[in-house]
Structure 1
Amino acid sequence: MESTAEDMIAEAVRAGRCRLDDLALHYAVAVTAEVVGLTSSPVPAMSRRLTRFFRQPPFDLARPRLGRTKRQLMGAAYNGLSPVLRFYLADVLPAVRDHRRRPRNDVISQLLDQGAGRADILVECVTYGTAGMVTTREFISMACWHLLEDDPLRARYLAAGQDERLGILHEIIRLEPVVGHLYRRVRDHITVSDEGREHHLAPGDLVDIDVRGANADPASVGTAPLELCPGRTLPRGIGASGLSFGDGAHRCPGRSLALLETDALLTRLLAQEPTILAEPSLGWDELFAGYRLRGSELRLGSA
Structure 2
Amino acid sequence: MTLTSPESETVALTSELVSEPVRGYTHLRRQAPLVRVTLPGIETPVWLITRYQDARAVLSDTRFVRDQGKVPGLAQDGPSIAEQMIEAYGLPAEYRDYLGIMVLVDGAEHSRLRNLVTKSFTARRINALRPRLEQITRELIAPLAARREAELLEDVGYPLASTVICALIGIDEEDVPQMRTWIRAYASGDIDLVIPALRNMVEHSKDLIARRALAPRDDLVSAWITSGQGDPQALTETEMVALILLLINTGITPPALFIASAVLALLDHPRQLARLRAEPQLLERAVPELLRFTSPVPMGAPLYAVQDLEFAGMPVRKGEAVTSALLGANFDPKEYRAPEDLDITRDLGRGAGHLAFGHGAHYCIGAALARLEAEVALDQLLIQQPALRLAVAREELEYFDLPGEGRHLRGLPVDF
The bucket for the TM-score relative to the shorter chain is 0.7 to 0.9
Residue 401 of structure 2 is aligned to residue 285 of structure 1: yes
Q: Which residue of 2 aligns with 1:29?
A: 162
User: Percent of counterpart pairs with the same letter?
Assistant: 22
Q: Which residue of 2 aligns with 1:156?
A: 275
Deviation at 1:232, TM superposition (A): 2.9
Residue 294 of structure 2 is aligned to residue 180 of structure 1: no
CA offset digits 1:44-102 (Å, max 9, x no partner): 32111112323557xxxxxxxxxxxxxxxxxx6x8665433311334552475157424
The structure 2 residue matched to 1:13, chosen from 139, 145, 149, is 145
CA contact (8 A) 1:138 1:178 kept: yes
Deviation at 1:42, TM superposition (A): 3.3
Q: 1:55 to 1:298 in 2, by over 3 A?
A: closer
The structure 1 residue matched to 2:410, chosen from 290, 294, 298, is 294
Q: SS at the partner of 1:181? A: coil
Query: Could you tell which deviates more after superposition, 201-210 or 286-295?
Result: 286-295
Q: Which residue of 2 aligns with 1:70?
A: none
**Could you state the TM-score of these two structures normalised by the residue count of structure 1?**
0.79
Residue 227 of structure 2 is aligned to residue 109 of structure 1: no
Deviation at 1:125, TM superposition (A): 0.9
Q: Which residue of 1 aligns with 2:379?
A: 267
Q: 1:191 to 1:161 in 2, by over 3 A?
A: farther
Q: 1:191 to 1:123 in 2, by over 3 A?
A: same
Q: 1:245 to 1:49 in 2, by over 3 A?
A: same
Q: 1:226 to 1:267 in 2, by over 3 A?
A: same
Which ranges of structure 2 fall in alignment gaps of 5 or more residues? 1-132, 229-234
CA contact (8 A) 2:303 2:323 kept: no
CA offset digits 1:201-241 (Å, max 9, x no partner): 233212121122211111122x211111234355x77742x
Q: Which residue of 2 aligns with 1:97?
A: 211
Q: 1:245 to 1:217 in 2, by over 3 A?
A: same
Q: Distance in 1 between matches of 2:208 and 2:147?
A: 32
**Structure with larger RCO (C-alpha < 8 A, sep 6+):** 2
Q: Distance in 2 between matches of 1:86 and 1:258?
A: 26
CA contact (8 A) 2:212 2:221 kept: no
Which ranges of structure 1 fall in alignment gaps of 5 or more residues? 58-75
Residue 319 of structure 2 is aligned to residue 204 of structure 1: yes
Residue 171 of structure 2 is aligned to residue 171 of structure 1: no
1:217-236 mapped onto 2 (5 Å cutoff)? 217-221=332-336, 223-233=337-347
Q: 1:87 to 1:193 in 2, by over 3 A?
A: closer
What is the number of residues matched between the two proteins?
273
Q: Distance in 2 between matches of 1:86 and 1:154?
A: 41
CA contact (8 A) 1:220 1:238 kept: no
Q: Which residue of 1 aligns with 2:185?
A: 52
